[in-house]
Chains A and B, each alone.
Chain A
Amino acid sequence: MIERACSQEGKEIVKLEDAQKIYQMGTQEVKALAGVTVSFKRGSFWAIMGPSGSGKSTMMNILGCLDRLSSGRYYLEGQDVSTLDDDSLSELRLRHLGFIFQSFNLIPQLTVQRNIELPLYYLGWDSVQSAQRAKEIAEEVGLGDRLGHRPTELSGGQMQRVAIGRALANDPQILFADEPTGNLDTTTGEQILELLVKLNKQGKTIIIVTHESTIADHARNKLHMLDGRIDRIEGNSNEAN
């Protein structure tokens, strides 16, 4: 593991260097990421935008340590994670990252409480402590009275709140959200965004992918993708945070 000199880049929490993700489709190569160099600072709030197929999800998966680069480097808190093995990546996700998906991805047979507790289970917390923590978090995301419910008994907005709760359980430094409002109506989407803004204010770095500019407007930085490359960066520049 390469430890980057943190003195001059101390505030960069995420950094891609010439990141490429290439899918081999038969004889054809699809460059989902065609050499992206970008860095996000700790505590920032980014919206990644761009047309369908421009590589937004690909980039999120890489940043969230769910997938690996074909070439280039990815530094997470100064640590080069492009070379880490599967177990170490799992460990990173478990301890430092939170993920929110468009389709919520809750485990249907588990109650709200158990879904929120899931990261704590893998962190090895005992059941009393995790129950306590799940309760606190459920209240924080506005679901204090739904702990015993199963996902199928909840509305879309509530499910997404559970997903946010689960992503928060391990107290991650960074929250990734790939189109978190994609399956929600505008009002509910706005509420979810307000929750994310609140979390950002509490100091968490937040990176979301969205199509809707009203949603993106909540972010202080916008990154537009096009054909696997950065098209333009909007709002505050890299240095602004």
Chain B
Amino acid sequence: MRQTRFARNIWLGIENLLLHKLRSFLTMLGVVFGVGSVVAMLSVGEGASKEALEQIRKLGSNNIIVSSVKSAEEEALSTTHSHMSIYGLLYEDHRRIAESFSHVKQTAPAKIMRKDSRLGEKEMELRVVGTIPQWFELVPREVVAGRVLLPLDVAQKTPVAILTEYGARKILATESTIGQTIRIGGDQFEVIGIVKSESGQAQAGNIQIQIPDQEVDVYIPMEVARRYFGDIFTKRTSSGDEREKVELHQIIVEVDEGDKVEAVAAGIKRMMEQFHKKKDYAVSVPLALRKQAEATKRRFNIVLGSIAGISLLVGGIGIMNIMLASVTERTREIGIRRAIGAKRRQIVYQFLIETTVLSTTGGIIGLGVGALIPFLITYFSGMITVMTWKGILLPLSISVTIGILFGLYPAMHAAKVEPIVALRHE
């Protein structure tokens, strides 16, 4: 019974607001934009967090990625004929990193090169990654068929290869290819497995981190790569052959505890500075993406939060203003209701319901507008936005609160109306 009476009161409020449709609509605009901003703010923030988490998952949340970088001056020199660039990570760096830090759980070095490969009739260039079994723990990807590297492969230095699912499709390999031979460079390898792959760059703010694997990779044991292909690579370019000597292209380091990642990364940087005269390496920390995402989130929160705050304040005052005018306009009605026997608090209640219906309707429209803004942001900036229940319920409850807060004064004002004074009012 109570419930239906409440519903009826709300309906009466709606009816009164519908008497002045345009006025009611204009009055609620402030709340519409305020709530819209809140919705947008929350969904952009949520999206930034989610995107960062997703990227960190691809990169490994407790990983540090150390990679070789060809410095600018080396780049300039390499165009001169018959010059050989020597740079990047050393086998020695890997050993030192693996042994010097108590919080380093495991490491995976990688030697990366491009080789023409051939499976049956199909020929294409693959990115060859010479690595060790730990790679598949630090860059965990679903195994589609067969198996990944095992310590046995390392010990026996067997020429085995693991394709990526995407690469396999390109080179026309299937599950039945497992056990068959693939030619990489000039050498024969046995295909033992197919894994899924990620690719591309993780990015947040000004931080960019290359995801360790690529779509078309082939993984072979590190020792085999060293023995078959050596440390010197020849790249064919338009200006002639470029020769490079790089021992390791990447070292992925897993730290045992999340909050030790930064300390270990700092340690690695210090160590690298000590042993490398040139800055021919880079240390990336995926976890930093999260910080960056938090910063992005904060920036958006400040901008949209201010817009929301101002809109809601202005919206609230607008509602208050219109309700005060409405109270004056309806003084006689209030007087009639009081003369019939309405108590002051029932008048308060009536006007509070009206303002709350007004602001809540504004809030609901604002939800729609607010859902549109993240959509546009995603469309134009590619930023991921996520709507959550919290992102819907919070703005809605804000709009209800605005109604009650700013409706209270006009409602009390209405309740002060003395019946006989009101009835004389023309």
Indicate whether A56 reaches chain B with its CB closer than 8 angstroms: no
Let me know if A101 is at the binding interface, CB within 8 A: yes
Judge whether A105 and B341 touch: CB under 8 Å. no
B8 interface residue, CB < 8 Å from A? yes
Complexed CA–CA distance, A62 and B1 (Å): 36
Inter-chain CA distance A203–B343, complex, in Å, is 28
List A86-122 residues whose CB lies under 8 Å from chain B: 86-87, 90-95, 99, 101, 105-107, 109, 118-119, 122
Q: Among the listed B332, B335, B341, B346, which residue makes an inter-chain contact with A93, where contact means beta carbons less than 8 Å apart? A: B341
**8 A Cβ contacts from A201-217 to B:** none
CB–CB B4/A126 < 8 A: yes
B322-344 contact mask (Cβ, 8 Å, vs A): 1 or 0? 00000000001101111111111
B346 with A122: CB separation less than 8 A: yes
A30 proximal to B (CB < 8 A)? no
What count of chain A residues pass the 8 Å CB interface test? 27
Q: Contacts of A61 on B, CB cut-off 8 Å?
A: 420
B69 at interface by CB-CB < 8 Å: no
- Structural contact, A66 and B4, CB atoms closer than 8 A: no
In contact, B339 and A93 (Cβ under 8 angstroms): yes
Docked Cα-Cα span, A119 to B343, in Å, equals 12
- Residue of A at shortest CB range from B335? A105
Check A107 against B333 for contact (C-beta < 8 Å): yes
- Whether the pair A166, B1 counts as a contact (CB closer than 8 A) is no
Known contacts A109-B16, A122-B346: does B338 contact A90 (CB below 8 Å)? Answer: yes
Interface residues on B, range: 20 to 34
- Known A109-B16, A127-B8; judge A166-B340 contact (CB<8 A): yes
The answer, yes or no, to whether B10 is at the interface (CB within 8 Å) is no
Taken together as a complex, chains A and B put the C-alpha atoms of A90 and B344 apart, in Å, by 9
Q: With CB as the reference atom, state the residue of chain A lying closest to B333.
A: A107
The answer, yes or no, to whether A80 is at the interface (CB within 8 Å) is no
Interface centre among B8, B16, B338, B339 (most CB of A within 10 A): B339
Chain A residues, CB < 8 A from B342: 90, 94, 122
Q: Is the CB of B341 within 8 A of A95?
A: yes
Q: Please, which residue of chain A has its CB at the minimum distance from the CB of B337?
A: A118
Q: A126-B1, A126-B4, A127-B8 are in contact. Are A118 and B19 (CB under 8 A)?
A: no
Can you report 14 A-B residue pairs in the complex whose CB atoms are below 8 A from each other?
Answer: A64-B339, A90-B341, A90-B344, A93-B339, A101-B423, A105-B332, A105-B423, A106-B336, A107-B333, A109-B19, A118-B337, A119-B340, A119-B341, A126-B5
